[in-house]
Amino acid sequence: MINRNKVSTTLVSVVLALASTLVFAEQSEGGQEHQYHDADPRNSSLRAAVFSDDEGELKLLAGGGASGLTSDISQTVGFAEYYTQSQNARLRAAHFDSFGGVYVDVYQLKDAANMYTTGYMLPLGSEDGTLFFPSVNYTYVDGGDAYSTLNGLGVPLQGNEEAHLGSVNMYALHPWNDTHFSVFNINLGSSYGGAEMQVANLMWLQGIKTKVKDKDFNIMFEFKYDVISVQNAHGIDETSEEVTASIGIDYRF
């Protein structure tokens, strides 16, 4: 099994190296309101989206936000997600200002667990227009049979019915031109209290932007790879992997 702690430390080193060569991503231009890319986490415009994965489950998403709540450059964003087959639900909220961004993420896995995440994100920009959003996170997982359900294992696990995880994340956005863009995200985490577990998530998204009645309309293709490893009551690591492909549309009001 991959040593997730070592990999997480490596990612932190990469983030620090990037921070030394990149600049803090601009949030305003000459006192004028900055136009954020649709895939920029700081974009607070109203949106509605629907995704369908390769097994037919729909993800419904809606949200929006506001500008200027705490300063001329601040952005406050929030949105909700609902999965039609699994009936899972998710709420996210973030606030960005001159210090960077802070956020909370509440994820309910029906009949499994509740996950509560908070973190700090640092927007960085590069000369070629690529935006990087490294972040550090804390997650509290609460649920009796959560770890068994998450892995489809149904075995008793080492530790408590809860877990405390630390993780690092890198979200990167590259606009190729006015209509095409790519997004890459990697997340690595490991528990330091409660049940023993390690997680890794990779995501690649290709987007095509168009206009519908002068409103932004994105067609997106998303590929995700998720792996979770948990330790059972016998001290043996149990690992589960999942690959998901989705297509979706995202409408900006």
Q: 216 or 203: whose pLDDT is higher?
A: 203
Give me the long-range contacts of 44-49 (CB less than 8 A, separation at least 24).
44/75, 44/76, 44/77, 45/216, 45/252, 45/253, 46/252, 46/253, 47/79, 47/250, 47/251, 47/252, 47/253, 48/250, 48/251, 48/253, 49/248, 49/249, 49/250, 49/251
Is the per-residue pLDDT at 8 higher than 60? no
pLDDT in tens, 117-155: 999 999 999 989 999 999 999 999 886 554 444 444 444
CATH code at 4-252: 2.40.160.40
pLDDT in tens, 191-203: 998 888 888 999 9
Query: For residue 18, what pLDDT is reported?
Result: 44
Rg (CA), the chain: 19
Q: Name which of 50-54, 86-90, 117-121 the model is least confident about.
A: 86-90
pLDDT in tens, 225-236: 998 888 776 777
Any idea where the domains of the chain sit in the sequence? Answer: 4-252
Contact at 8 Å (CB) between 187 and 169?
Answer: yes
